Structure 1
């Protein structure tokens, strides 16, 4: 009886933990997971003629202790040896659970107060849409929200995406992602 009681309690704790971990999620009304990106999310340059508009993103509240969020869009298939950073936003207030379409403009005027856009591999501080080399297989674009245990990441305005990524991962309490694709 005593053993049965502890097994039951352990099972309940595990179920609650797994349920809570599954609650942190990321979605977009503009992009279905594993679908292909539309013209709106394609870069305008480097031979691509997209609209270069960041999609809307929304997420559920992060784990207990979340003090801010960060978002990245990363292409691990870019033929660089290190992938390609398409968007990096950090210092998103913990009270925020969505970014509107176009929040990734270089002006950042649609971002929540205090949010910072890092420099992408396009050399801009803002969203840079998909633009894989012609003839490459479809690339994967990983959209990720990170729940962070700190309110602010303090970095110079011209910090690289890799350095920002390091700081995000060093302070992450959890993350949620979805993948979209694009090839030409």
Structure 2
């Protein structure tokens, strides 16, 4: 009996140690399962928000992480294929935070990072802008720990190509799913 209790206890602790080392994504501006503020709403297409990328920070990258990529996707966009709001690749492995507004047109992203053209047609953060009355949209902010230092993408890479290369090189990922409705 004591042997089973000891084995069970050790199994429980080893499970916690695995969870404790998992990649974690957090933010001062957005929360999982909660609505974003007007600051994260797009400016244009009938929306009048601040179009400000949220503060993001991460911890516990897995061993072998050589860079990071960040994607923001709205699966509820009435397009048949969702909507890419932001894709950033080649974020250096020593970076673990993006300041609020880092994804603006002034591009204050870490050196070496590359912003991919989003579905608004701009190489920067594009905020939420769901159609009025369309209901709640889910915005998945996903950080990818990558096994390569640099994704070799053309300057005009599509969101699909960037997504393919990101997913092919992801070791581990972490998400925040924020909400927005107009």
The two structures share one fold, judged by TM-score above 0.5: yes
1:59 aligned to 2:95?
Answer: no
In structure 1, the partner of 2:36 is 37
Alpha-carbon shift at residue 39 of structure 1 (Å): 1.2
In structure 2, the partner of 1:20 is 21
Alpha-carbon shift at residue 14 of structure 1 (Å): 4.3
Separation (CA, whole Å) in 1 of partners of 2:179 and 2:16: 33
Equivalent residues of 2:57, 2:97 under 8 A apart: yes
TM-score normalised by the chain length of structure 1: 0.91
Alpha-carbon shift at residue 160 of structure 1 (Å): 0.9
Equivalent residues of 2:21, 2:60 under 8 A apart: no
**In the TM superposition, what are the counterparts of 1:9-158 in structure 2 within 5 Å?**
11=11, 13-21=14-22, 24-108=23-107, 110-158=108-156
Separation (CA, whole Å) in 2 of partners of 1:79 and 1:173: 31
TM-score normalised by the chain length of structure 2: 0.92
Equivalent residues of 1:61, 1:97 under 8 A apart: no
Paired residues, number: 180
Equivalent residues of 1:138, 1:183 under 8 A apart: yes
Q: 1:166 aligns with which of 161, 164, 167?
A: 164
Q: Provide the secondary structure at the position in 2 that maps to 1:105.
A: coil
- Cα deviation, 1:127-172, whole Å, max 9, x if unaligned, reads 0000011110110111111100000001111111111011111000
Separation (CA, whole Å) in 2 of partners of 1:131 and 1:165: 22
Q: Provide the secondary structure at the position in 1 that maps to 2:21.
A: helix
Equivalent residues of 2:72, 2:140 under 8 A apart: yes
> How large is the RMSD of aligned CA atoms in angstroms?
1.9
Separation (CA, whole Å) in 2 of partners of 1:15 and 1:141: 29
